[in-house]
């Protein structure tokens, strides 16, 4: 009997087994994350309600939203050329605000209780030696989950900075509720204002800066060899922990130590990181242009469309024009065309440097066909 007629080939068997293992892994991770959201989603509001009370908790929550309004628009501006899906941005924020904060609250509190018998100031020791490790690890885990769950949405350094910043923004939001509520209960409005000025106005980017270092390392490693992909992210995480520990150390040394560290250490690092992020944004624009030019050379898009796609203002103008000539359907088609084109450029980048998966050619064809269909709507 011909064995080939009754048994799949070895390659088919291996592919089927690999696909089954991948589905099992994804299902397990998804279930674990849902469980984590459920547990921490119950724990955090419970602690806030018991410790602060309903009225104080609501007040602290409202005030904590103000720094979010400072940080999030800047992160979204940084991500403007290849905007992340709103659902993924929301997932990142909730990871920071719920899973990371709730778990960190439990672990940090437990470590403080354990240190109480070993040191005269367990709060300070926990803040400097425990909290940075716990919190940066939990925020970094959110980055890894996003990378695992939606690899196609994680293209490089900018995505690393943005997702890390959003996770950290969510973490700071939830953490601020506790800090502001405690300050209000202990010292009234004066205490709340003092804490808000420090955490909400002077240092709203502290957590995004720390976790952003991890995001840079993870994003940069994606387009490197296997060895660097294993080495660079842990080094970035260690750097984030070190920055976080230095920040917390300055906070427990009194006002003089805080302001000295803030002006001499933290501000220069923040300025350098900001300049680096802007440079990477400009570089991403150049990458989009260079990779789309390949398709322009083959007639898939025009040089004028390449110029439009690499200018935020021209994109906005194009959407307005599309709305004028085609109504809501036309505007939607133009937005889809722009999103698909930038996604195509990022896919071409992965295909060029060898980091794209085996389904990349089919995805490339799908994006080109989607762009053609969107252009047809616009006439």
What is the Cα–Cα distance from 17 to 312, expressed in whole angstroms?
45
The domain in which residue 357 lies consists of 287-377
Q: What is the mean pLDDT of the chain?
A: 90
Burial of 266-302, coded b for 16+ CB within 10 Å and e otherwise, reads beeebeebeeebeebbeebbebbbebbeebbeeebbe
Domain identity same for 246 and 321:
no
Residue 138 within any structural domain of the chain: yes
Domain identity same for 172 and 26:
yes
Domain identity same for 242 and 340:
no
Domain identity same for 301 and 243:
no
Residue 262 within any structural domain of the chain: no
Residue 356 within any structural domain of the chain: yes
Residue 48 within any structural domain of the chain: yes
CA-angle at 21, arms to 19 and 25, nearest 5°: 115
Residue 266 within any structural domain of the chain: no
Instruction: Judge contact between 78 and 132, C-beta under 8 A.
Output: no
N-terminal to C-terminal alpha carbon distance within the chain: 59
What is the Cα–Cα distance from 343 to 155, expressed in whole angstroms?
10
Last residue of a domain, one of 252, 275, 298: 252
Domain identity same for 215 and 356:
no
The predicted structure's pLDDT at residue 209 = 96
pTM for this structure?
0.88
Residues of the chain with pLDDT > 70, as a percent, come to: 93
Domain identity same for 241 and 292:
no
- How many domains is the chain partitioned into structurally? 2
Domain identity same for 24 and 112:
yes
Domain identity same for 181 and 325:
no
83: how many CB neighbours lie within 10 A of its CB?
13
CA-angle at 85, arms to 228 and 318, nearest 5°: 115
Domain identity same for 351 and 240:
no
**Average pLDDT of the segment spanning 226-243:** 95
pLDDT of 2-23, one tens digit each? 444 444 455 555 455 556 666 6
Residue 3 within any structural domain of the chain: no
Handedness of CA 318, 319, 322, 324 (dihedral sign): negative
Side-chain-facing half-sphere of 13: CA atoms under 13 Å: 6
pLDDT of 157-203, one tens digit each? 999 999 999 999 999 999 999 999 999 999 999 999 999 999 999 99
Residue 267 within any structural domain of the chain: no
**Average pLDDT of the segment spanning 283-304:** 94
Residue 345 within any structural domain of the chain: yes
């Amino acid at each position: 009997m011909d064995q080939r007629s009754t048994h799949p080939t070895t390659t088919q068997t291996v592919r089927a087994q690999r696909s089954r293992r991948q589905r099992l892994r994804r299902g397990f991770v998804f279930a674990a994350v849902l469980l984590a959201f459920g547990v921490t989603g119950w724990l955090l509001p419970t602690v806030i309600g018991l410790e602060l009370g309903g009225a104080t908790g609501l007040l602290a929550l409202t005030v904590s939203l103000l720094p979010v309004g400072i940080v999030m628009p800047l992160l979204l501006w940084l991500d403007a050329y290849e905007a992340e899906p709103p659902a993924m941005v929301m997932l990142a924020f909730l990871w920071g605000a719920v899973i990371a904060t709730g778990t960190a609250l439990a672990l940090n509190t437990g470590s403080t209780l354990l240190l109480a018998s070993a040191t005269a100031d367990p709060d300070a020791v926990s803040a400097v030696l425990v909290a940075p490790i716990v919190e940066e690890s939990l925020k970094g885990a959110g980055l890894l989950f996003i990378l695992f769950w939606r690899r196609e949405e994680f293209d490089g350094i900018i995505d690393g900075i943005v997702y890390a910043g959003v996770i950290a923004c969510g973490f700071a939001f939830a953490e601020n509720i506790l800090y502001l509520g405690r300050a209000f209960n202990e010292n009234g409005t004066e205490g709340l204002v003092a804490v808000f000025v420090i955490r909400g106005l002077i240092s709203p980017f502290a957590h995004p800066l720390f976790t952003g270092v991890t995001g840079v390392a993870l994003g940069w490693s994606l387009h490197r060899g296997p060895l660097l992909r294993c080495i660079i992210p842990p080094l970035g995480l260690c750097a984030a922990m070190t920055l976080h520990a230095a920040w917390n150390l300055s906070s427990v040394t009194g006002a003089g130590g805080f302001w000295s560290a803030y002006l001499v250490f933290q501000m220069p690092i923040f300025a350098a990181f900001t300049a680096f992020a802007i440079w990477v944004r400009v570089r991403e624009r150049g990458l989009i242009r260079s990779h789309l030019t390949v398709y322009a050379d083959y007639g898939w898009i025009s040089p004028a469309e390449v110029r439009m796609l690499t200018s935020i203002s021209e994109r906005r103008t194009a959407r307005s024009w599309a709305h004028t000539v085609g109504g809501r359907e036309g505007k939607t088609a133009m937005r889809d065309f722009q999103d698909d084109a930038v996604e195509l450029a990022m896919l071409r980048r992965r295909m060029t440097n060898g980091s794209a998966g085996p389904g990349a050619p089919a995805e490339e064809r799908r994006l080109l066909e989607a762009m053609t269909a969107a252009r047809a709507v616009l006439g």
